[in-house]
Amino acid sequence: MTEASPINQLIDHLFRHESGKMVAVLTRIFGPTNMELAEDVVQDSLVEAIKHWTYKGIPSNPSGWLFRVAKNKALNIINRNKYKTQYSADVAPLLQSVWTIEPAVDHLFSEQEILDDQLRMMFTCCHPSITADSQVALILKTLCGFSIHEIARAFFTTDENINKRLVRARQKIKESELLFEVPAGKALLKRLQTVLEAIYLLFNEGYSASAGSSVIRYEVCGEAIRLAEIITRHPAITDTSDVYALLALMQLNASRFKARTDEHGNIVTLQQQDRSSWDFSLMKNGFINLEKSVTSGGVSMYHILASISSYHCCAVDYQSTDWQSILVLYDKLLLLDGSPVVHLNRAVALAKVAGVEEAVTVLKGLQNTTAIASYYLFHSIQAEFYMELGRPHEAAEMFEIAIKLAPLAAEKALLKSRLEACKKIF
């Protein structure tokens, strides 16, 4: 009998990599109004995989096995409900005949069709009849395999609120009988922004995991990069400035991942990182895409964030970081996004340029903001500032709060080591 742990790890991997693909192609078959049916088929396929692999071992091609099971389940549903279910208009005629059902489903499960269906799914989830916050929540849930809790963390809200948003979004899809398609013209450009926001949130969840034992969830970040690459290859999307900017941002950040933790999984701060371990090939791709992003269109927050990341990538060491240019970029970013998190990140650059006292004043102005007050980095950054100012008692207080709020063991361990260093100054 195969051990359960490796199987569960593999299922989690496949859920992240394959569930969105399967939900997309099944939604193409069943229609957007039956999106929950598509999700149920995928869930049933994963459960069957756990049962089957536990007793018979993991197959040589787990992904292919999973897709075959999902396809067979879809065929069973079609044959059982041939004249009862309202399928997508473009495939419905092929699903009515015994001679065309199986070839049609085989074609829809082909690699190119799955790629196209993922893009259709992105834009269907971002239809203007669905509220903006529900759009992003829906795409993260259906296409990216996010849990309710992960989405809630990304939005700084509760699991209950996210669940309500998803229910409303699915209800709107049913009521409006939305088409499963990539829109054209202005509708395409408008919906593209929501799609990019969802991909950005996906990357951020991998970059700073909300749960689990790893600080970085490499597969989640890789999935976000993959989705952005799908968009750049689609011929209907001609204004790709923001897409390339987001892709550059993710690649530049991901290129420095290996240096963020040591061999024991402990967090290594930017100042202490071994820059020779950065992925310079991925970094090069990031710079290429950043250059592509400025060939047309305006400047988005993705352009600014990618530019900030590029300054960190260009610095040969921490001391030579161009904090002045980074601060200027954060000032520009505030015009587009005045969120507390942007103010917090700007305060770090401000401390390097104008001094820690001024940065502390900025953070005091944020302390009554509910969302940021529950964010552990808000307190840990304050603690570091107080350390630099020679105020260890206040620093210790902030470190203790940060330790309670930090979601991961590795984050708590780093903060505890900083707290111990702080107490030695008492």
Provide the percentage of residues in the chain whose pLDDT is more than 90: 50
What would the 3-class secondary structure string for 177-234 be? Answer: CCCCCCCCHHHHHHHHHHHHHHHHHHHHHHHCCCCCCCCCCHHHHHHHHHHHHHHHCC
Return all residues near 396 (Cβ < 8 A) that are at least 6 apart.
383, 419, 422, 423, 426
Please write the tens of the pLDDT for every residue from 189-226: 888 988 898 889 888 877 875 555 566 677 778 888 98
| Count of positions (residues) in the chain | 426
Please write the tens of the pLDDT for every residue from 141-175: 888 888 888 888 777 788 999 999 999 999 999 88
**Mean pLDDT for the stretch of residues 171-191:** 85
Rounded to whole angstroms, how far apart are CA atoms 30 and 18? 18
> How buried is residue 180: exposed, middle or buried, by Cβ count under 10 Å (0-12/13-18/19+)?
buried
pLDDT of res. 1:
40
Tell me the pLDDT band of 83, cut-offs 50, 70 and 90: very low
Q: In Å, how far from its chain's centre is CA 251?
A: 13
Phi (first) and psi of residue 282, to 5 degrees: -65, -40
Torsion, Cα 141 144 150 153, to 10 degrees, reads: -90
> How buried is residue 134: exposed, middle or buried, by Cβ count under 10 Å (0-12/13-18/19+)?
buried
Please write the tens of the pLDDT for every residue from 258-310: 999 888 888 999 999 999 999 999 999 999 999 999 876 689 999 999 999 99
Tell me the pLDDT band of 38, cut-offs 50, 70 and 90: very high
Return all residues near 299 (Cβ < 8 A) that are at least 6 apart.
332
Torsion, Cα 72 73 76 78, to 10 degrees, reads: -100
Name the residue among 358, 261, 257 with its Cα closest to residue 312: 257
Q: At residue 142, what is the residue type? A: T
- Average model confidence (pLDDT) across the chain: 88
Per-domain residue ranges for the chain? Answer: 1-109
pLDDT of res. 352:
97
pLDDT of res. 92:
61
**pLDDT greater than 70 at residue 82:** no
Name the residue among 207, 200, 209, 85 with its Cα closest to residue 147: 209
Please write the tens of the pLDDT for every residue from 314-360: 999 999 999 999 999 999 999 999 999 999 999 999 999 999 999 99
Q: At residue 250, what is the residue type? A: M
CB–CB of 356/385 below 8 Å? Answer: yes
Packing angle, helices 185-207 and 241-254, rounded to 10: 10
**pLDDT greater than 90 at residue 86:** no
**Mean pLDDT for the stretch of residues 232-253:** 90
**pLDDT greater than 90 at residue 379:** yes
Six token digits for residue 5: 């742990």
Provide the percentage of residues in the chain whose pLDDT is more than 70: 92
Q: Using alpha carbons only, how large is the chain's radius of gyration in Å?
A: 24
267: helix, strand or coil? strand
Tell me the pLDDT band of 3, cut-offs 50, 70 and 90: very low
Rounded to whole angstroms, how far apart are CA atoms 309 and 329? 11
Tokens 């309710």 label which residue? 148
> How buried is residue 103: exposed, middle or buried, by Cβ count under 10 Å (0-12/13-18/19+)?
exposed
pLDDT of res. 344:
95
**pLDDT greater than 80 at residue 312:** yes
**pLDDT greater than 60 at residue 97:** no
**pLDDT greater than 60 at residue 370:** yes
Tell me the pLDDT band of 96, cut-offs 50, 70 and 90: low
**pLDDT greater than 80 at residue 31:** yes
Phi (first) and psi of residue 33, to 5 degrees: -70, -20
Q: Measured in Å, how far apart are the chain's first and last C-alpha atoms? A: 57
Please write the tens of the pLDDT for every residue from 339-351: 999 999 999 999 9
Of 115-129, 319-333, 401-415, give the lowest mean pLDDT range. Answer: 115-129
Q: Is the pTM of this model over 0.75?
A: yes
